[in-house]
Structure 1
Amino acid sequence: MYFHKTKPLQHYHLFLSHQPRSLPQIKQTHARAVVSGLSGHSHFMSHILSFISLSSSFVSLSYSLSIFHSIPFPTVFTFNSIIRCHTKHHNSYASHCVQFYSSMRRRFLNPNQHTFNFVLHACSKGYDTKALNQGLQLHAHVIKFGFERQVFVRNALIHMYFAFSRFESSKRVFEEDTLCRDVVTWNSMLAGLVRNGEVRVAEKVFDEMPERDVISWSTMVMGYVQNGILKDGLECFREMRERGIRPNEATLVTVLSASAQLGLVGFGKFIHSTIKSLRIPVTTPIGTALVDMYAKCGCIEESRVLFDSMSRRDIWTWNVMICGLASHDYADEALALFHKFINEGFCPVNITFVGVLNACSRAGLVSDGRHYFKLMVDDYGIQPEMEHYGCMVDLLARASLIDEAVELIETMVIQPDPVLWATLLDACKIHGFVEMGEKIGNKLIQLDPTHDGHYVQLAGIYAKARKWEDVVRIRRLMTEKITNKVAGWSLIEVQGRVHRFVAGDREHEHSSDIYKILETIGLRITEAGYSSKNLTFLA
């Protein structure tokens, strides 16, 4: 008799000796507990709920709630687990976490640091006034229960205030106790600053950090790139590698994207060699980023080899390959890959058809372009966006179908971008449609009188038609309307370093050497019989 009474207790220790990770393992443990008579054991069921909150598998809240409600007298540990279960789900469940916290207080249970950590993170997902007010009240409870010096709680408070764009509040929590900080505290400040565009402030915080981990470096790299400071992001990555920090997947994808946007194949290859030397697995996101980088940097063959070698490809991998082939004038290959993409069971999205229509535009496949545009709308229910209209206008303009292109623009369901009209204006210059070009050019100048390119294009049309008085008139108009012209700049990659230049640049550290070489080039051109008088400059 004594044996049977203690048998459930024996099972209790046996079941808790190994923590189940996946949902099937958790349910198996739960089922064995029911058979063994432990389903009414509050402490054991609280641990089952804890296993669910720690599991990486998706677990429905109905299952978590059924276990919670089966416990007659839940403890703080139980409440923490059910709150944590809710924080892993959609933002709409954030308010439920606060309700559980309130329920816990009504039972006269005092929260611990883990309680505040979970419920503050839940408030951070709310993004509305109600969630902010709840977060402010929780901050008051943090002080009331004496957890304001707990580093985990302080980190959660910093994160919450940044989520609501309360920068000063985050800064106040960060600075009120300089001794109560860890690397996560600093990383929370970094993440909040870069997410809100305060990259230069984040730089100062980064420089002051007593300790940095891979998250610190990754946050800075992604902060630069996401805020458009691509060159600094790449230099930060270089320094990260020089210090021996192993990059994570997110960092690699980010710097590959930056290299692609700048067209720096040398830096892209440096990143690729880093992946190989560190034996980092080429996951689908990394593989897709590599395919995209090589395609955008002009190395379409390397891009295709990588694409073919990938064991797993998602819809974005196919999209970057289709778009890459299209941008390199491999129209037949791009369209063939699109049909293979469909046969593989993938469903195209808006960017897929940007690649397909771009392929048709570059190859002059007017009938095919019309077909795919109609297919996109009728068969896949994708409403045309500006990029799709841009491809179609370019396709029709290249084919000298200016009237059809104008009709397409005027019947657009969205407000047309001036770029579409500028595309037509360029086509009018090429095909000699002076009257249509004059009409479109004047329309563009009315839409954006500060854009110097519109004046230049219209003057070019008049120059081709030998209407010199109109050329002078448009040039004068441009001078009157545009007082400050933004200088264009160029990037060049030399020995893995990115250099930026503007016309007449004298600030580069090697500018004197560069101008000496330019003089040498000029002399050699003259010696070869070339003269600036023999060169033709087009407006």
Structure 2
Amino acid sequence: MVTSLCSLHSPLAVSNAHSPTSNDLKTDLLHKFNSPFELKQAHAHLIKKNTPLSTLPLTRVGSVSALTPSFTYARQIFAHVNEPELVVWNYCLKSFVERDNSVNAILLFYRLRQFDVLPDTFTCSFVLKACTNELDLYNGKIIHGYVVKLGFTFNLVLQNMIVNLYAECGEIWDARLLFEKMSQRDVVTWNIMITQLIKRGDIVEASELFRKMPERSVRSWTGMISGYVQCGKPKEAVELFMEMEQVGVRPNEVTVVAVLAACADLGALDLGRRVHEYSNQSGFRRNIRVCNTLIDMYVKCGCLEGARRVFIEMEERTVFTWSAMIQGLAIHGQAKEALTSFNKMIEIGIKPNGVTFIGLLHACGHMGWVDEGRRFFYSMTTEYGIIPQIEHYGCMVDLLSRAGFLQEAYEFIRNMPIKPNGVVWGALLGGCRVHKNIDLAEEASRQLGQLDPLNNGYHVVLSNIYAEAERWEDVARVRKLMRNLGVKKTPGWSSITVDGVVHEFVAGDETHLQAEKIFQMWEKLLDGMKLKGYIPNTSVVLLDIEEKEKEKFLYRHSEKLALTFGLMNTPPGTPIRIMKNLRVCEDCHAAFKLISEIVNREIVVRDRNRFHCFQAGSCSCGDYW
């Protein structure tokens, strides 16, 4: 039945003079065969030496024969050894899944059924995992049927995998139905369902399930905190983190990353610092992802020095680390340092990616460095082989538009190899407002009307451009269009965190408990500012009202209220950090420069585009923003 080794053209037939030893080659053949042909050689050798078949590594026999015509040959070998056949096939299924070869795992399962090899719970678990990897609900339902038919519904692991399979394949409500019908559930079951709901943006349903959980693991808390961050609810994420601390659950590295991201969104520097201290005490200092998120948190909370310290202390830095630091320096007005960091990154052999160039283009855009920006944009492709994405084109249009190269920006958009989006046209529109180019503003607005008609920001900018030109009929026309479309202007707000509590203000806000004291304090500041030559810039109030009314409206801007509150409720000499959802107006910018000198405080404002660090009467933006 088996051919003699001597008659086969194999490595064993080669003279010993050309190989280490004959025994070495025989050992290799017996344990390292890679094909059905070599398996048959090894089998022949065992027969010749009258050696038991159990000497063969059976898992290797299965692996080289699973999907070949030698499948039955392998089964004949298994029939002559004591090892249960299914154990070997389960190992093969597991190997396929772990090596990202899930399709072969599914094919092997069907071959096993074709030859009446009865699956067990392990078999089903490996094939369910394969179906999930492939998002193959058709075959997944068949395996689900086998689980029921073979009486494996008692197995909670399999039940959890089935719920996860349906959800991953988009059948979230089928998954929920299975979840509700389960006779038993563990914390993994609940976590699966909550995670899948969060993936689909159903944070309300996920939160309700979370509250119903009989017990929660650190993964449960972390998943919910991450979910809130992903859904744009950082405040809820922070509140849940504090609740997690109160019940005594220790955060892990993933939790730390999630809550730091929430701190970054909120500008909650005090909590971010506390989480930083906790991560150091817990040994997370070497976790690159934690460190990268710390850099991002410090940058977005207006504490560039904190970001620098984390960066310097890192033992290992990736391209993401360098890119985060470059981006942080850029939005803080430290363009020279951003470009210096890029040069250092290149010198040590780290290849930049697309995010790196977004940071560099932002740096150039915030300083008006048009030539440098052009050079970086074109070097992406010519030197680093990076194809510019829509974000890079948006940065270039923003750079050119801010600097007054409006016609070049317009031609740049028209010649883009990809379709411009609302952000690109919005950048041009913003430049048109700064440089008062009504014709191009109207063209940009027309394009935006087609791409994003319900975006209130673009309508407001065009209305403001008309207002600055005192074209009140056009202002009324745009406002009427907004009413007809059901579009409302986004109200400006500013927030400041004092003693861990976030205080939010809107323009003209009189609802705060300290409102009267805030207005009194502002009047005192105003007296000092006027002594230094302050004249209210009422041109930023784009309303057709009397001058005195414009001044009153100007003095109630949300960032002025937040700053005044901060001066009243923080110790002298401490920095004040304010977050604003819109662009800082020219009058507030001028006022903050004077106030920083009068009160001898550092005032950091994060607006929609960048950071402004006011100190000793000047701003880090160099009055270019």
Q: TM-score, normalised by structure 1?
A: 0.80
Match for residue 154 of structure 1?
159
Q: Residue 493 of structure 1: SS of its match in structure 2? A: strand
Q: Deviations over 1:267-301 (max 9, x none)?
A: 21122122133333431111111111111211111
**C-alpha separation in 2, matches of 1:230 and 1:527:** 35
Give the alignment of 1:78-477 within 5 angstroms: 78-90=88-100, 93-127=101-135, 131-178=136-183, 180-441=184-445, 444=448, 448-477=452-481
Contact kept in structure 1, 2:285 and 2:291, CA below 8 Å: no
Contact 2:241 2:259 in 1 (8 A): yes
Alignment check: 8 A CA contact 2:61 2:74 kept: no
Shift of 1:486: 5.0
Asked if the contact 1:49–1:82 (Cα under 8 Å) also holds between the matched residues in 2, the reply is no
Q: Which segments of 5 or more consecutive residues in structure 2 lack a partner in the other structure?
A: 1-27, 33-41, 79-83, 543-625
Give the number of the structure with larger relative contact order, counting CA–CA contacts within 8 Å between residues 6 or more apart.
2
Q: Secondary structure at the match of 1:210?
A: coil
Of 326-335 and 421-430, the range deviating more from structure 2: 421-430
TM-superposed deviation, 1:406 = 1.1
Structure 1 residue 77 and structure 2 residue 77: aligned? no
Conserved in 1, the CA contact under 8 Å of 2:493 and 2:506?
Answer: yes
CA distance in 2, matches of 1:215, 1:243: 14
The letter of the residue matching 2:500 is: G
Residues of 2 paired with 1:318 and 1:277: CA distance?
Answer: 25
- CA deviation vs aligned residue, 1:117-161 (integer Å, no higher than 9, x gap): 11111111112xxx2111111111111111011111111111111
CA contact under 8 A between 1:398 and 1:427: conserved in structure 2?
yes
Higher mean Cα deviation, 285-294 or 478-487? 478-487
Name the amino acid aligned to 1:161: Y
Aligned residue identity for 1:234:
V
Paired residue secondary structure (1:149): coil
Q: 3-state DSSP class of the match of 1:348? A: coil
Task: Kindly state the Cα deviation for residue 312 of structure 1 after the two structures are TM-superposed.
Answer: 0.9
Partner SS for 1:244? coil
String of CA shifts for 1:253-272, please: whole Å, max 9, x gaps. Answer: 22222222332222211221
Q: Indicate if the aligned counterparts of 1:98 and 1:119 stay in contact, CA closer than 8 A.
A: yes
CA distance in 1, matches of 2:328, 2:300: 7
Q: For the residues of structure 2 that align with 1:436 and 1:478, how far apart are their CA atoms?
A: 20
Secondary structure in 2 matching 1:147 = coil
Is 2:327–2:356's contact at 8 Å kept on the other side of the alignment? yes
* In structure 2, C-alpha distance between the alignment counterparts of 1:139 and 1:413, rounded to whole Å: 48
CA contact (8 A) 1:76 1:104 kept: no
- Secondary structure, counterpart of 2:249 in structure 1: coil
Q: 1:205 to 1:450 in 2, by over 3 A?
A: closer
Q: Alignment identity in percent?
A: 37
Unaligned runs of 5+ in 1: 1-26, 51-60
**Does the 8 Å CA contact 1:46/1:77 hold for their aligned counterparts?**
no
Task: For 1:123 and 1:505, locate their aligned partners in 2 and report how far apart those are by CA, in whole Å.
Answer: 56
The change in CA–CA distance for 1:318 and 1:162 in structure 2 (over 3 A counts) is same
Distance in 1 between residues matched to 2:413 and 2:470, nearest whole Å: 29
472-481 vs 277-286, greater mean Cα deviation: 472-481
Pairing of 1:8-27 with structure 2 (within 5 A)? none
How far is 1:398 from its partner?
Answer: 2.7
Deviations 1:235-266 (Å, cap 9, x if unpaired)? 22222222222222222222222222332222
The residue type paired with residue 133 of structure 1 is Y
Query: Normalising by structure 2, what TM-score?
Result: 0.70
d(CA) in 2 for partners of 1:146, 1:174? 18
1:538 aligns with 2:535: no
Contact kept? 1:151, 1:181, Cα under 8 Å: yes
- Tell me if the contact between 1:231 and 1:498 (Cα under 8 Å) persists in the aligned partners: no
Contact 2:457 2:489 in 1 (8 A): no
> Radius of gyration: which is bigger?
2
Cα distance per residue 1:394-427 (max 9 Å; x no partner)? 2222322111111111111222223333333333
Determine helix, strand or coil for the equivalent of 2:497. strand
For residue 97 of structure 2, what is the amino acid of its counterpart? T
Q: CA deviation at 1:358?
A: 1.1
Please give the alpha-carbon distance, in whole angstroms, between the structure 2 residues aligned to 1:446 and 1:101: 52
Deviations for 1:90-112, whole angstroms, at most 9, x for unmatched residues?
3xx22321222223233433222
Q: CA deviation at 1:452?
A: 3.9
Distance in structure 2 (CA, Å) of the matches to 1:440 and 1:291: 36
Number of aligned residue pairs: give it.
486
Q: 1:357 to 1:184 in 2, by over 3 A?
A: same
Q: Distance in 2 between matches of 1:289 and 1:216?
A: 21
| Matched-pair contact (CA < 8 Å) for 2:166–2:175 | yes
CA distance in 1, matches of 2:353, 2:362: 15
Given the superposition, is the C-alpha separation of residues 524 and 364 from structure 1 closer, same or farther in structure 2, using an over 3 Å criterion?
closer
